[in-house]
Structures are given as structure tokens and as C-alpha cells.
């Protein structure tokens, strides 16, 4: 089943096109990364999904329905621009957001207490938000997004401003909810979080989709790279388009080898064996999502 669908969605603000003919699908139960630089159109896209703003053109479906308030009971949302009612207590804040999502007061308070316990804030349940530290307030904000055990959780730059401890807590919460069957969509420009969490991802630049697929499919867009320790240059071997010497000793030299698109490291290793090409090390370098992002997006990753 499709949890979220965007079909040819465009959003214009005057003569500025913030989202340009964007189409993608998020499958039920997956963790989906919405990746792009600042100004790529991530927040605008998510605000259309949440019916905060309307698209200029195109179609959006959430859990099989059009965007609207009737989806609130099954949705959770953590905005990039954080904000809580400063004079309310931590528990009352979580309870209030639970009530907005259709929960009874007793259920919202019970789940709120459980979340505060899990986040290490049980002793601060009756503390006003204005008295909490920034990190503690961020945990309360996260609790407001997940209090209703949402079927679809949308997180807009959720790791922004979090210290490493709270980043780990958020990653653990995402994994916990995914393990319970929730669908999670989060936007970020920090590729390391996506590497650890995402089943599939989309790369966005200038409001346009430049890639959608799994992490392995994303890495496959880059030519294979190898670290080779050999006595002579690998240039001239099948599939090798570049070999940069990185140093060496005792007659062995280390080479950073790049293969032609579609080149198979296994074929190269077989050729080395057949030709008697002396090797001491032959390692494939696994590209990071950051490498993929630079390769696919390049200088279009950010805009004013």
C-alpha cells in the first residue's frame, strides 16, 4: 500500500517555482529520506502534504485520501520551526497535542507520561516548558509528534539543533516506530542520518527530483572506485579510466582506481589474475550518500 503519493506536484510563489513537477511515492511501513540542500523545496513539499499550503498543480494522497484535517488522527508532524506553549507543563503540552489528534484526555495523559519516562523526563512532567532546558524542550516537542502513535510520521529537518545525545534518541525513536509498522518521512541535508535510517530516499535540487530509490541504487549511480596496492599502474587494465598514485613503500604503490560507468570490480580482479598483474590489496570503496549527493546534485544543492 502507498502511504504517501505526490503526482506532478508544482508550487509557485509569484514568479518563483519552489517545487517543480514533483512525483514520488512512499510505501506503507518504510523509512523514507527526503534529502536536499537548503532551499531545495523540502519544507514546501511537506507543507503541501500537510495541507498547510496548497499546490499550484498536481495531486497529493495521504493514506489513500486527499490532504486535510480528517487525517490528523493518523499523522504526526515535527516542524523545523520548533515552538511550544511556554507556560504549559510538559505533560499538559503533550496531552493537549494528543487531544488535537482525537485522543481522549486520559489516553493522551497516559501516553504522555510513558513518553516522558522513555525520554528521561519523568521528573519534569509538571515543569513549565519555559523552565526546561533547550534539549529537554526538544524532547517534549518530539513527544507531541508521536503521542498518537501515528501511522504516518513526518519530520522536517528533525536533527537540526539537536546535540549528539538527542540525535541518538531521535534515531532510536524513529527505529522504534518503524519497528511497530509506522511510515516515516523525514527531510534532512545531513546524509549520515539518512545512511543509518532510510529504506529509500529522494534527492531534491531546485525543486526537482534528481533521484529516487534505495541506498544501493543511489550508490550505483557513481562509477566504482577501488584501492589497489600493486607494483605498477593499473591504467590499461579493462574498465580502468583513472588511477591516481597515493603513495607506497618497498616497491608497492597504492592506487586510487576509478572504473568506467558500469564497470565490474570482479571483472577487473579476474583480468589481474589472468594477466599475472601483481596485487597485495584490492578493496572496493563504498561511496557515501554525501558522495552520491555531490555527484547527482553538484552546485545545485542550494539556492537563495
Q: Is there a domain that residue 114 lies in?
A: yes
Q: Quick one: 106 and 232 in the same domain? A: no
Q: Is there a domain that residue 130 lies in?
A: yes
Q: Quick one: 198 and 67 in the same domain? A: yes
Containing domain of residue 114, as a range? 2-219
Q: Is there a domain that residue 155 lies in?
A: yes
Note the Cα 113 to chain centre separation in Å: 29
Q: Quick one: 109 and 179 in the same domain? A: yes
CA–CA dist 207, 17 (Å, integer): 7
Give the residue with greater pLDDT, 83 vs 84: 84
Please state the rounded mean pLDDT for residues 158-163: 85
Q: Quick one: 133 and 234 in the same domain? A: no
Q: Is there a domain that residue 296 lies in?
A: no
Categorize the per-residue pLDDT at 304 as very low, low, confident or very high, splitting at 50, 70 and 90: very low
Q: Are 86 and 130 in contact (CB under 8 A)?
A: yes
CA–CA dist 262, 258 (Å, integer): 11
Q: Quick one: 205 and 108 in the same domain? A: yes
Predicted local distance difference test score (pLDDT) of residue 4: 97
Three-state secondary structure call for residue 277: coil
pLDDT tens for each residue of 259-302: 987 788 999 999 999 999 999 999 988 888 888 888 888 755 44
Q: Quick one: 215 and 230 in the same domain? A: no
CATH number of the structural domain spanning residue 243:
3.30.70
Q: Is there a domain that residue 293 lies in?
A: no
CATH number of the structural domain spanning residue 165:
3.40.50.300
Q: Quick one: 233 and 213 in the same domain? A: no
Please state the rounded mean pLDDT for residues 240-248: 91
Mean pLDDT computed over every residue of the chain: 91
Q: Is there a domain that residue 302 lies in?
A: no
Predicted local distance difference test score (pLDDT) of residue 300: 53
Q: Quick one: 208 and 229 in the same domain? A: no
pLDDT tens for each residue of 210-230: 999 999 899 888 888 899 999
Q: Is there a domain that residue 246 lies in?
A: yes
Q: Quick one: 168 and 198 in the same domain? A: yes
Predicted local distance difference test score (pLDDT) of residue 27: 96
Q: Quick one: 205 and 259 in the same domain? A: no
Q: Is there a domain that residue 303 lies in?
A: no
Categorize the per-residue pLDDT at 303 as very low, low, confident or very high, splitting at 50, 70 and 90: very low
CA–CA dist 106, 120 (Å, integer): 21
Q: Are strands 200-205 and 208-214 parallel, antiparallel or unpaired?
A: antiparallel
**Reported pTM:** 0.82
Q: Which of 149, 144, 152 is nearest to 75 (CA)?
A: 152
Contacts of 202 (CB under 8 A, 6+ apart): 24, 32, 33, 34, 35, 209, 211, 212
Categorize the per-residue pLDDT at 194 as very low, low, confident or very high, splitting at 50, 70 and 90: very high
Lowest mean pLDDT, pick from 1-5, 173-177, 185-189, 287-291: 287-291
Predicted local distance difference test score (pLDDT) of residue 191: 87
Question: What is the count of structural domains for the chain?
Answer: 2
Out of 219, 249, 264, pick the residue that ends a domain. 219
What is the phi-psi region of residue 34: left when phi exceeds 0, alpha when psi lies from -120 to 50, beta otherwise? beta
Predicted local distance difference test score (pLDDT) of residue 197: 95
pLDDT tens for each residue of 5-52: 999 999 999 999 999 999 999 999 999 999 988 889 999 999 999 999
Amino acid at each position: 500500500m502507498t502511504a504517501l503519493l505526490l503526482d506532478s506536484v508544482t508550487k509557485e510563489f509569484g514568479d518563483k517555482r519552489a517545487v517543480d513537477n514533483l512525483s514520488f511515492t512512499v510505501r506503507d511501513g518504510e523509512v523514507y529520506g527526503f534529502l536536499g540542500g537548503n532551499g531545495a523545496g523540502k519544507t514546501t513539499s511537506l507543507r503541501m502534504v500537510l495541507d498547510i499550503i496548497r499546490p499550484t498543480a498536481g495531486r497529493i494522497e495521504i493514506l489513500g485520501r486527499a490532504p486535510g484535517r480528517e487525517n490528523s488522527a493518523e499523522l504526526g508532524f515535527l516542524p523545523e520551526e520548533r515552538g511550544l506553549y511556554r507556560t504549559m507543563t510538559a505533560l499538559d503540552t503533550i496531552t493537549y497535542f494528543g487531544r488535537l489528534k482525537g485522543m481522549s484526555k486520559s489516553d493522551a495523559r497516559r501516553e504522555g507520561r510513558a513518553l516522558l519516562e522513555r525520554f528521561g523526563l519523568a521528573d519534569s512532567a509538571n515543569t513549565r516548558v519555559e523552565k526546561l532546558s533547550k534539549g529537554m524542550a526538544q524532547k517534549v516537542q518530539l513527544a507531541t509528534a508521536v503521542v498518537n502513535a501515528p501511522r504516518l510520521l513526518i519530520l522536517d529537518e528533525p536533527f537540526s539543533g539537536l546535540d549528539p545525545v538527542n540525535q541518538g534518541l531521535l534515531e532510536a525513536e524513529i527505529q522504534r516506530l518503524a519497528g511497530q509498522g509506522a511510515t516515516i518521512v523525514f527531510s534532512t541535508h545531513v546524509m549520515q542520518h539518512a545512511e543509518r535510517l532510510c529504506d529509500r530516499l529522494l534527492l531534491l535540487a531546485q525543486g526537482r527530483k534528481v533521484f529516487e530509490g534505495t541506498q544501493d541504487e543511489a550508490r550505483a549511480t557513481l562509477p566504482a572506485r577501488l584501492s589497489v596496492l600493486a607494483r605498477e599502474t593499473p591504467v590499461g587494465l579493462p574498465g580502468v579510466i583513472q588511477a591516481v598514485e597515493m603513495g607506497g613503500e618497498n616497491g608497492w604503490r597504492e592506487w586510487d582506481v576509478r572504473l568506467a560507468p558500469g564497470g565490474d570490480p570482479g571483472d577487473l580482479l579476474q583480468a589481474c589474475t589472468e594477466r599475472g598483474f601483481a596485487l597485495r590489496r584490492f578493496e572496493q570503496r563504498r561511496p557515501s550518500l554525501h558522495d552520491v549527493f555531490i555527484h547527482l546534485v553538484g552546485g545545485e544543492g542550494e539556492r537563495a
